[in-house]
Structure 1
Amino acid sequence: MATQISTHKATALTNPSNYALTSHRLRRTLHDFTKQPIVLVACGSFNPITYHHLRMFEIAKDFIRQNTDFEIVGGYLSPVSDEYKKAGLVSAHHRVKMCMLATEQESSWLMVDSWEALQNYQRTAVVLDHLDYEINTVLGGVSTRDGEHRDVQVMLLAGSDLISTMSEPGVWSHDDLDDILGRHGTFVIERTGAALDQAIDSLARWRNSIYPIAQLVQNDVSSTKVRLFFRRGLSVQYLLPAVVIDYIEQNNLYPDDGPCTEKDKGKGTESGEADISTSESSNTCVKKP
């Protein structure tokens, strides 16, 4: 069973004007008073969001229900800011909107937090601390059926490439690793062939708060491939929600520019970007400091 990690009360962070945390699907009452309430958070470009991003939450949900003492009370996608300045990154306004359309149509429990997208580049640790503050301090956490207050543990959901970068010396600051892994914890979707065990061994101090999850059905759909399909005029039906496809076409976000060149094909990690997904390293990311 999962080792419960003590929650961390973050201090108030500056919010963009007119910002308010989306919380309409945040469940405020625990079903099982013996469990620790958690919220899953995925940080990334979502350029665009695909079914694979949504599927990762469901994979984690099954694992958590069957193997841990946690109870999920909500899930958030946090699109990266335009200040990330990655080539081909459409505006945060569009990426937030696509995530909202996808979650509202395809999920009953996922939400989008626009805080990160609406301002300057923010580190992953800061994003998690922000949500900790908004959920536990501003909203007051959750309660048991008997009215007992509980703080919610905000936990990162990411792909196995994330842990690989965290185990590399000098890539992440020790303080941020201690915040992300020590105070919050992470669920990591494994990728076939990734040396996840070795990476976790390098992060032995936080081993008890890193939860690797196997993919029972392999899925290599990525935003990079979806963008390439759009550029080549190929069908993307069933790779991402129809409502997102319609939005992309209405706003001409990824225009058809003819046959791709070699440089359009799959790229590796760059600028410290580690993939949230398990097969893509150039569009959905968890940021280093």
Structure 2
Amino acid sequence: MSAFMEETKCLLPRIAFIACGCFSPPTPMHLRLFEIARDHFEMQGTHKVVGGIISPTHDSYGKKGLVSSLDRCAMVKLAVQSSNWIRLSDWEVHQSQWMRTQSVLQYHQNFMNNYINSPSGAGDAEPNGALPGWLPTTLRERSDPVQLKLLCGADLLESFAVPGLWEDADIEDIVANHGLVVITRCGSNPDKFIFNSDILTKYQRNITLITNWVANEVSSTLVRRLLSRGQSVKYLIDDLVLEYIKRQRLFNVKSQDAPAPPGGDS
């Protein structure tokens, strides 16, 4: 039976997830979204999940509380150290300006499928000839394409309705050509939001709604607030991320155990 199940799994269409955002700082809930989504598709037996990608936004996005992309990428790298399938992509932060989410999805989608179809397996390698670290390692085990889906919380889904925040053409392209995987909270009503949107209703077959039954309200905003007040965030974020924040004195951190700045009183 197990051999049959493995063979069946090999025939399933392949997908990968990408999460876009600030990650200032990354929290365990950011990573939990990936785990919840993968569990859903594996339990449904409809797709094979081959990878997860975290793509921090460009510095020019300018959101309040946004530290430099160098620091945000460093924190994401630390946060995903214990994962064997979620990886950082720093492509977005290295562009000359802020990139629309649709463009970020399209780049990563094209890169993966070009890599799969490249005879040498190099695809569009980086200038130094190396493959990007975010690339899932098992892509060339099969020759079929991988569909990249945008992974997000219900708040991003609801942001589609904010006037001027999203281009209708971008929303349609994301949902029609990639798909959304939305992790919602118990008691929320994303179905109604989809019903109220003509674009989302048109492509609702490409929207996967997954309820997170284990409530976790820890957000980057909350972590920044506690840090600026000198309150503990231990167990709310990864220890390695917390150590990095203290070492770099990010988010106006106030802590008695934070390292003293260079040149302090002797």
Shorter chain as denominator, the TM-score bin is: 0.7 to 0.9
Query: Quick one: which amino acid aligns to residue 99 of structure 2?
Result: Q
Structure 1 residue 234 displacement after superposition: 1.0
User: In the alignment, what sits opposite 2:242?
Assistant: 245
Query: Within 2, Cα distance between the matches of 1:77 and 1:52?
Result: 13
Query: Within 2, Cα distance between the matches of 1:149 and 1:257?
Result: 52
User: In the alignment, what sits opposite 2:87?
Assistant: 111
User: In the alignment, what sits opposite 1:185?
Assistant: 179
Structure 1 residue 43 displacement after superposition: 0.3
2:129 is the counterpart of 1:130: no
| TM-score computed with the length of structure 1 as normaliser | 0.73
Structure 1 residue 31 displacement after superposition: 8.1
Structure 1 residue 173 displacement after superposition: 2.3
RMSD: 2.0
Structure 1 residue 140 displacement after superposition: 3.4
| TM-score computed with the length of structure 2 as normaliser | 0.79
Query: Within 2, Cα distance between the matches of 1:79 and 1:140?
Result: 27
- Given that 1:44 and 1:79 are in contact with CA atoms closer than 8 Å, whether structure 2 keeps it comes out as yes
User: In the alignment, what sits opposite 1:213?
Assistant: 210
**Kindly tell me: are residues 124 and 161 of structure 1, through their superposed partners in 2, closer, same or farther at Cα, counting changes over 3 Å?**
same
Larger relative helix fraction: 2
**Kindly tell me: are residues 53 and 170 of structure 1, through their superposed partners in 2, closer, same or farther at Cα, counting changes over 3 Å?**
same
Structure 1 residue 101 displacement after superposition: 1.0
Residue aligned with 2:250, SS: coil
Query: Within 1, Cα distance between the matches of 2:160 and 2:33?
Result: 20
**Kindly tell me: are residues 255 and 86 of structure 1, through their superposed partners in 2, closer, same or farther at Cα, counting changes over 3 Å?**
same
Structure 1 residue corresponding to 2:252, chosen from 229, 251, 255: 255
User: In the alignment, what sits opposite 2:220?
Assistant: 223
Q: Deviations over 1:227-251 (max 9, x none)?
A: 1111111111111111111111111
Percent of aligned positions that are identical: 37
**Kindly tell me: are residues 31 and 136 of structure 1, through their superposed partners in 2, closer, same or farther at Cα, counting changes over 3 Å?**
farther
Superposition pairs of residues 134-213 of structure 1, within 5 angstroms: 134-140=111-117, 142-143=139-140, 148-167=142-161, 171-201=165-195, 202=197, 203-213=200-210
- Given that 2:245 and 2:253 are in contact with CA atoms closer than 8 Å, whether structure 1 keeps it comes out as no
Query: Within 2, Cα distance between the matches of 1:235 and 1:174?
Result: 42
Superposition pairs of residues 272-287 of structure 1, within 5 angstroms: none
Larger relative contact order (Cα-Cα within 8 Å, sequence gap ≥ 6) = 1
- Given that 1:167 and 1:200 are in contact with CA atoms closer than 8 Å, whether structure 2 keeps it comes out as no
| Greater displacement, 221-230 / 189-198 | 189-198
Structure 2 residue corresponding to 1:74, chosen from 32, 45, 51: 51
Query: Quick one: which amino acid aligns to residue 44 of structure 1?
Result: G
Larger Rg: 2
